[in-house]
Amino acid sequence: MKFLRDALDGIKPNFTSGGKWEKWNPVFETFETFLFTPDHVTTSGSHIRDGVDIKRLMTVVVLALFPALFFGMYNIGYFHFEQLVALGQQDSYTFMEAFLFGLWKLLPIIIVSYAVGLGVEFIFAMFYGHSIHEGYFVTGMLIPLIVPVDLPLWMLAVSIVFGVVIGKEIFGGTGMNILNPALVVRAFLFFAYPTFMSGDKVWVAGASEVDGMSGATILGQLGSGAEAVVDKTYSVMDMFLGFIPGSIGETSTLAILIGAVMLLLAGVASWRIMLSGVIGAAIMSALFVLWGANPLMDFGFKHLLVGGFAFGLVFMATDPVSAAQTNTGKWIYGFLIGFLSILLRVLNGFPEAVMLVILLLNVFAPTIDHYVVQASVNRRNKRVEDKIKKALSA
């Protein structure tokens, strides 16, 4: 790869301060560090450094999203063709057809996500004169996985601009934001285009065009009292494997679990948040089963398999920047996400509960941490108080 390195070194002076294209330095640097890790060496302090850095970390997260991404592609095709077959408009379809149809549908969403998001990042990077930080690498992959398949691309673009600017850049960029930018995008979509996002048309590709096709999500159907339909159509195994309608990447609990294992092995995400989230949701679901007043309550532990709960908990709640930062705080934060998600979902009939609760807890995470850290501060202060008391009594 020496010729490439030489070529880069050849044009590099143009981008350094005083060069012809000085302004474009962030762009150049981004591509350069993508191809080659920089030759930065330590100057003081620890002369050796761990091999992991933000670029490598973010790469692991994106790789962990791949199982959900690939399953999402197949899921798009599966529901599209299943319904066409049911309506008698098509005889049969193959696995490959379903997958390629999904790819065809998903690719524009991914392209728009990265193009718009990175565009915003580039503008801010050039404005502030820093290189482009890797955060959007992950956000750009998360967004396509949490939107419905038939979402118009312009809506997606508008939401991404809002999400990246308001959710991240105004706070100072990666590492400084208080909300998860991908969830801000999702929330913006939900509140800006509610009629579109809460209908039963967007969740299955083609449902808005083909008469007789329906794409209501399980929670939507349960909420409207169609529990018999749900029971008949979807087995628990379907829910676990992901053969249910929903946002593109959130349906398969199995694929998400594979991603979760990758994240945990790489030490990227917090197992405390994931575990306490599952515990919180299980407790709330169990309580509702005891109450048992409506189909949503009777749904029980199956709540953990639908409505993006697994996806939210594994990929959204564990975002280290917007989550609680102390270990004790992470237990509380994760538990509340699980607990409140099911509460809100059942009592308010909010299918989007997971997303909203994670955003809510993002806001409260600093408060949780504050009390956890304050406990340590108090222990320190108490040492002084004890000493004074002892001195006074002596």
Q: Is the Cβ of residue 270 or residue 285 nearer to other proteins in the bound state?
A: 270
The span from the CA of 375 to the CA of 333, in Å, is: 17
Angle formed at CA 125 by CA 122 and CA 127, multiple of 5 degrees: 110
Which residue, 316 or 353, is less far from other proteins as judged by CB? 316
**Rounded least distance, CB 40 to other proteins, Å:** 4
CB under 8 A, 24+ apart: contacts of 283-290 = 283/338, 283/339, 284/338, 284/339, 284/340, 284/341, 284/342, 284/343, 285/342, 288/342, 288/346
CB of 143 to other proteins, least distance (A): 19
Q: Tokens representing 305? A: 């398999």
Task: Compare residues 58 and 356 and give the one whose CB is closer to other proteins.
Answer: 58
46 or 92: CB nearest other proteins: 46
Nearer to other proteins, 63 or 165 (CB): 63
Write out the DSSP string of 82-143. HHHHHTTS-S---HHHHHHHHHHHHHHHHHHHHHHHHHHHHHHHHHHT-PPPTHHHHHHHHH
Q: Is 145 exposed, middle or buried (0-12, 13-18, 19+ CB in 10 A)?
A: buried
In the complex, least distance from residue 300 CB atom to other proteins, rounded to whole angstroms: 33
Minimum distance, C-beta of residue 29 to other proteins, in the bound complex (Å)? 9
Per the structure block, which two tokens stand in for 178? 């208080």
Which residues contact other proteins by CB under 8 A? 1, 4-5, 33, 35-57, 59-60, 63, 131, 133-135, 172-176, 265-268, 270, 320-321, 323, 325-327, 330, 373, 376-377, 379-380, 383-384, 387
Residue 32 CB, nearest approach to other proteins (Å): 9
Residue among 107 and 265 whose Cβ is closer to other proteins: 265
Nearest approach, Cβ of residue 391 and other proteins (Å): 12
